[in-house]
Homo-oligomer: A and B are copies of this chain.
Amino acid sequence: MRLALAAAAAAFLSIPVQTGPVRAAELPEEARVHARALAETGLESDLAYRLTESLTTEIGPRLAGTPQEARARDWAVEMFNELGFENVRVENFPMDLWTRGYSIFEEVAITHPFPQELYATSLGGAAATPEDGLEAEIVFFDSFDDLLEFDGADDALEGKLVFVNDRMTAARTGEGYGWANRKRTLGWVEAENRGAAGLLIRSVGTSSHRFAHTGMMSFPAQRLPGIPALAVSAPDADQIERIHAMGETIRVALRTHAGWRGEVTSGNVIAEIVGAEAPEEIVIIGAHLDSWDNGTGALDDGAGVGIVTAAARLIMEAGVRPRRTIRVVLFGAEEVGLVGARAYARARMADGTVDQHVIGSESDFGARNVWRLSSGVGEHAVGFFDAMQGELAFLGIERGGNSSGGGPDMIPLAAMGVPMARLDQDGTDYFEFHHTPNDTFDKIVPEEMAQNVAAWAMFTWFLADSDMDFRARPEAGDAEEGEPAQ
């Protein structure tokens, strides 16, 4: 009876209903054969690897809003045109520029009790120290929660440097990152509200190397930090921890030049393969062009640029247009707060095409093998992804859950109801390199890039050659119970 009602509701909404057990038959034989052929070609392709090499070598670091990021857009436009993409264009948007200052290096040192230089990096959005620097005592917090719960005297942190020592744990899913990142994004607010002169945190990430992990802070209520905020490399944080454990008062001197430099222009670079039957229906696959300033952004996200571009190019080369349009978007200004992704979503609201985005996905988690296919689609479409996983299994890909957000630059679209899916990469060592100078091209394994391209080519083909509406819809049960269908 529930099924009958669901069918009635579906008829009302003019949407085909998927029922019954998972069947490979959800994917037409023709699509499966074509996708497999794409994958076989992808496994032999070095295009993604070569594109990433080119971007990271010929542009290198490309901080959002800088001339380097503008050069990356020029590079992308030329590259898309050379590869034969259609409708290649740049959508510019304004943004506020933040830079570290004179150099990728910061001057930070313990001055008492055991003078020595530390390796540290300003967090994105931080203020500079006074021109001559500042020196202050550290107040040590073992965790961000300890800082949140701090109930010392009102002036206990006045003029001090707050140090937060949380450690991140490595995981294939990267799931430790969000928790460890709280001190990075919001530590400054807690420190500044208590009168601190600055914030130092143990570098987020899992590296044992002497580079600290940078990254943007959050700015609740548009408030910007008035204090310097830096991450200290793990071995240097160990040093602070050991000296603190000896019961010593630790004084640290720092001199930084970070700050906001006014409004500049960034942009998203867009390229398409126009669909044969339903060109207005858009499968959006993305990556981001910008990177942090300290590395060459090979894993984050040169690899993604290479992977999604190469996958689309494989589809183009195979000579069969998909039913729908495949739109590749290389977002600008991701690292500094999804500025490009928000601009893209706003532009689609303005031109009324949000609902034409039938599904979205981004590659932005390094260059290791894809190990899992996750979806974030209506319940009726879960079987479609189950079937797709069956096709991807020969690449070592498992089935994930149905709560994927598609990737960072997909967040604004997902918030507007665009369905999402994702090819999850192995992130076990991603945070060894992420947001540090060690994010360079030599960390990429060509065979792993090719596995990504094979998976993305199949995935993109299945999505683009389908006529399924992946959007969430009223559940049969909901309709049965008379709830509003929205």
A interface list, Cβ under 8 A from B: 53, 57-61, 68, 103-105, 107, 113-117, 119, 208-211, 234-235, 238-239, 242-243, 295-296, 436-438, 440-443
Apart from A59-B114, A60-B239, A103-B117, what 15 extra A-B contacts exist at CB < 8 Å? A53-B242, A58-B113, A60-B114, A60-B115, A61-B117, A68-B115, A68-B116, A103-B105, A208-B442, A210-B440, A235-B296, A235-B440, A238-B440, A239-B440, A239-B441
Q: Of all chain B residues, which has the CB nearest A56? A: B239
In the assembly, what is the distance between CA of A237 and CA of B295, in Å?
14
Residue from B103, B116, B243, B295 in contact with A296 in the complex, judged by beta carbons closer than 8 Å: B116
How far does the Cβ of A124 sit from chain B's closest Cβ, in whole Å?
Answer: 18
Please state if A238 and B114 are interface contacts (CB–CB under 8 Å): no
18 sample A-B contacts, Cβ–Cβ < 8 Å, listed by A number: A53-B242, A60-B115, A60-B239, A61-B116, A68-B115, A105-B105, A208-B442, A209-B211, A209-B438, A210-B211, A210-B295, A210-B438, A210-B440, A235-B296, A235-B441, A235-B442, A238-B442, A239-B441
Tell whether, in the assembled complex, residue B103 and residue A243 are in contact, meaning their CB atoms are under 8 Å apart: no
Q: Which single member of B107, B436, B440 contacts A103 (CB below 8 Å)?
A: B107
Contact for A60 among B53, B104, B116, B208, CB less than 8 A: B116
Q: A241's closest neighbor in chain B, by CB?
A: B57
CB pair A57–B296 under 8 Å, yes or no, is no
Give the dominant DSSP class at A's interface: loop
A298 nearest CB neighbor, chain B only = B235
Task: Give 5 closest A-B pairs by Cβ, nearest first.
Answer: A60-B116, A235-B440, A105-B105, A210-B437, A57-B242
Contact B58 A114 (CB under 8 A): yes
- B103–A238 contact, CB under 8 A? no
| A440→B296 CA distance, assembly (Å) | 25
Query: Nearest Cβ distance between residue A292 and chain B, in whole angstroms?
Result: 12
Copies in the complex: 2
Chain B residues whose CB sits within 8 angstroms of the CB of A235 once the complex forms: 296, 438, 440-442
Q: A114-B60, A211-B210 are in contact. Are A234 and B296 (CB under 8 A)?
A: no
Given the known inter-chain contacts A103-B105, A107-B103, A234-B442, please indicate yes or no for A57 contacting B239, CB distance below 8 A.
Answer: yes
In the complex, what residues of B have CB within 8 A of residue A113's CB? 58
The smallest C-beta distance from A265 to any residue of chain B, in angstroms, reads 19
With both beta carbons as reference points, the residue of chain B lying nearest to A107 in the complex is identified as B103
A449–B210 Cα distance when bound, in Å, is 22
Q: Which residue on B lies nearest to A239, using beta carbons?
A: B57
Q: Which among A57, A234, A242 has the greatest number of chain B C-beta atoms within 10 A?
A: A57
Q: Name the B residues within 8 Å of A57 (CB-CB).
A: 114, 239, 242-243
Residues of B within 8 A of A117 (CB): 61, 103-104
Cβ contacts under 8 Å, A437 to chain B: 119, 210
Complex contacts, A116 vs chain B, CB 8 Å: 60-61, 68, 296
On chain B, the residues within 8 Å of A243 by CB distance are 57
> Taking the nearest CB of chain B, how far is it from the CB of A297, in angstroms?
11
Cα-based distance from A114 to B103 in the complex (angstroms): 17
Q: In the complex, what distance in Å separates the CA atom of A438 from the CA atom of B119?
A: 10
Please indicate the chain B residues that have their CB under 8 angstroms from the CB of A210 in the complex.
211, 295, 436-438, 440
Closest chain B residue, CB of each to CB of A233: B437
Closest chain B CB from A8 CB (angstroms): 61
Residues of chain B within 8 A of A105, CB atoms compared: 103, 105
> Closest CB-CB distance, A436 to chain B, in whole Å?
8
Q: How far is the CB of A52 from chain B (nearest CB, A)?
A: 12
Whole-angstrom distance from the CB of A256 to the nearest CB of chain B?
13
> Complex Cα distance A438/B436, Å?
14
Complex Cα distance, B59 from A384, in Å, reads 62
Which B residues are in CB contact (< 8 Å) with A436? Answer: 210
Instruction: Give the distance in Å from the alpha carbon of A443 to the alpha carbon of B208 in the complex.
Output: 8
Task: Provide the residues of chain B in CB contact with A68, threshold 8 Å.
Answer: 115-116
Chain B hits for A295, CB < 8 A: 210
